[in-house]
Amino acid sequence: MKLPPAVAYIAPFAVFIALRWLPFPPEWLAPVRFVAVAATLAVFSRRVIPRRIAFPIGSAVLGAAVLAIWIGPEVLWGRHYRDFWLFHNGITGIARSTLPEYLRSHAFFITVRVLESAIQVPVLEELFWRGWLMRWTIRSDFESVPVGQYTALSFWLVALLFASEHGPYWEVGLIAGVAYNWWVVRTRSLADCILAHAVTNALLAGYVLVFDQWQFWL
């Protein structure tokens, strides 16, 4: 039976979100999720993952700029910035890492978490947000919509939903969503958005590990 085209774009994101709630010990949750998402990408999404990057330098610069925006408020005003009620409430959650202390020096766990953050998450999120939803919002037959086509509704809806996915970091998530949306509209290249997103996440992982800023890994 032929699956709907949207499955290739939605399935990895759905598996990633669903497996966050598995009742596994935390040191095993990340590896299990990594393998499950990798299998989902290979089985369902391989044909739609773009590989031709048109603007590597611009994408890398944008990714670094988004990282600066992401960590900027806490660098400027300290961790207590996120104790303000707009970022610390029953809807957004709390900007506190749930990782047990012992996992912060667990080499296998850290390796998997970095690979997941820097490689898997950019692919599965860009497939979902800008590869599928941004186009589906324009027309249900989303494959007939070119990547990067702009309408105000699709642009801002995806930016707002992308922000909501990031809980207590919603305001920088909104800026990041606008930045990635703008880049896909400008480049018409999902591969370039994946690269920008990967640079952001890789640099953020490095920042977490080097400067002991675990609150960014919720």
Q: Is the pLDDT score of 1 beyond 80?
A: no
Nearest to 10 by CA among 183, 135, 192: 135
In this structure, what token pair is assigned to residue 201? Answer: 């996440």
Burial class (CB in 10 A: 0-12, 13-18, 19+), 194: buried
- What would the pLDDT profile of 137-184 be if each residue is shown by its tens digit? 999 999 999 999 999 999 999 999 999 999 999 999 999 999 999 999
- What would the pLDDT profile of 77-95 be if each residue is shown by its tens digit? 998 999 999 999 999 999 9
- What would the pLDDT profile of 31-81 be if each residue is shown by its tens digit? 999 999 999 999 999 999 999 999 999 999 999 999 999 999 999 999 899
What CA–CA distance (Å, rounded) separates 95 from 73? 13
- What would the pLDDT profile of 2-37 be if each residue is shown by its tens digit? 889 999 999 999 999 999 877 878 788 889 999 999
Residue 99: predicted pLDDT = 87
Residues 6+ apart with CB under 8 A from 53: 59, 189, 191, 192, 195
First to last CA, the chain: 39
- Domain extents in the chain: 7-216
In this structure, what token pair is assigned to residue 126? Answer: 């860009």
Residues 6+ apart with CB under 8 A from 184: 130, 134, 147, 148, 190, 192, 193
